[in-house]
Amino acid sequence: MPYPKLDRDQLAIKKLCDRKNKVYIENDHVPVAQKPAHLSELGQKLIEKTAGRIMQARQQHRSVMLTFGAHTIKNGMAPTLIALMEEGWVTHLSTNGAGIIHDWEFAFQGKSSEDVRENVELGQFGIWDHTGFNINLALIVGAYEGLGYGESVGKMISLEGLTIPEISFLQDEVVRNIKTNADLAAAAADLSGVIQKFNLKPGFMSIPHPFKRYSVQAKAFELGIPFTGHPMFGHDIIYNHPMNHGAAIGRVAQNDFLSFAKSVSNLDYGVYMSIGSAVMSPMIFEKALSMSQNLIIQKNGHIDHHYMLIVDLAKSDWDWQAKGEPPMDNPAYYLRYCKTFQRMGGEMDYLTADNRDFLLAIYQKLTEKN
């Protein structure tokens, strides 16, 4: 007998426009010309080294991957991320579910970041109409269209809306594909059910995004650069909304994981930068690298020459390259994601820095050297 489940349909969902926010993108974004506040002497050397590796990777058409936590978006770094894409310095960006949400809320209403403590006590944290409705619907439509997580949301922002198919067309899709393409048939059935449940009208659903110039995932969609989202189920506020659909989340997240792995497979002599992501980045990277090595080993090759730079505010004085894993009584031991990265071959450096300072410094150094 199935476990009892909470009924999300009974939630009292409030309007997003009534929510108090702490970050306003027009006032709080960081211009690309702003000088980094502080970088140590070691930090400056690592910026120089990383910029050189990125330039070499670009010349050899290798992957340059930039993975980051949600604070990189919330800290207003969209202009720098967009500039890195537009000028051809990065080939793949990835973030977690919260990064996707902050980017979307900035594009949609120009503000984001609610007061978690206050709203949890009020039973209101994450229970907002537009964020839950629109992002979830974009993912359900994207799953039917065969898109990834970040790609689905980026497309909605860029086009400022979603195309809702006729139910009869979707039902025909189910019948046509049930034997030859079960994934498409199931995604069509899921979308059909959502359209009926929420009484959605077929055709183009206009969803204006007046601040979309600040959206990293929209710009990535327009440039054709992978911007992948890597959520964990239940971690993000969109799971609170009745529009949330687990099967669709699984389909788009799987597409993005495989897209991420494809970029990792081109990482020999490439660059992988991980900024403020102690869980998502190393966890997906180790699986993607293992799959990539598996395929390349079958062709008598091996990925050995990738360069990794791990950036975080947490301080680490441990020399991972020379000493390997630290003893358990050393504070560096608790930087477990570095330990995880260290096992992955290639060359790795660790930089203690604010994500704003690092991104500004690396972009400005690349511009200077170009």
pTM of the complete model: 0.92
Mean pLDDT of 121-141: 94
> 353 in a domain, yes or no?
yes
> 183 in a domain, yes or no?
no
> 345 in a domain, yes or no?
yes
Q: How confident is the model at residue 326 (pLDDT cuts 50, 70, 90)?
A: low
Domain boundaries, position 359: 8-165+202-369
Query: 270 to each of 51, 245, 308, how far by Cα in Å?
Result: 12, 36, 9
Mean pLDDT of 44-69: 97
Report residue 124: phi and psi, to 5°: -125, -5
- What pLDDT was estimated at residue 194? 98
Residue 143 burial by CB count (10 A; 0-12/13-18/19+): exposed, middle or buried?
buried
* pLDDT score of 322 more than 70: no
Query: Measuring CA to CA, which residue among 87, 33, 25 is closest to residue 359?
Result: 33
DSSP state of 244: -
Which tokens belong to 228? 């992948």
Burial of 317-326, coded b for 16+ CB within 10 Å and e otherwise, reads: ebebeeeeeb
> 33 in a domain, yes or no?
yes
Q: What average pLDDT does the chain have?
A: 92
Measured CA to CA, the distance from residue 216 to residue 56 in angstroms comes to 25
The beta strands (E) that lie in the chain are given as 23-24, 64-68, 92-95, 111-112, 161-164, 203-206, 227-229, 271-275, 307-312, 347-352
Mean pLDDT of 232-248: 95
Q: How confident is the model at residue 339 (pLDDT cuts 50, 70, 90)?
A: low
Q: Describe the crossing of helices 129-145 and 182-197 by its angle, rounded to 10 degrees.
A: 150
CATH number at residue 124: 3.40.50.10690
* pLDDT score of 332 more than 50: no
Mean pLDDT of 193-200: 97
Give the number of other Cβ atoms within 10 Å of residue 28's Cβ: 15
- What pLDDT was estimated at residue 279? 79
- What pLDDT was estimated at residue 323? 59
> 16 in a domain, yes or no?
yes
Q: How confident is the model at residue 124 (pLDDT cuts 50, 70, 90)?
A: confident
- Tally of domains in the chain: 1
Give the number of other Cβ atoms within 10 Å of residue 49's Cβ: 15
Residue 284 burial by CB count (10 A; 0-12/13-18/19+): exposed, middle or buried?
buried
> 302 in a domain, yes or no?
yes
Q: What percent of the chain has pLDDT over 70?
A: 92
Distance in angstroms between the alpha carbons of the first and the last residue of the chain: 64
> 72 in a domain, yes or no?
yes
Element (H, E) at 70: helix 70-74
Mean pLDDT of 234-246: 95
Mean pLDDT of 197-211: 98
- What pLDDT was estimated at residue 346? 83
> 231 in a domain, yes or no?
yes
- What pLDDT was estimated at residue 370? 83
Q: How confident is the model at residue 16 (pLDDT cuts 50, 70, 90)?
A: very high
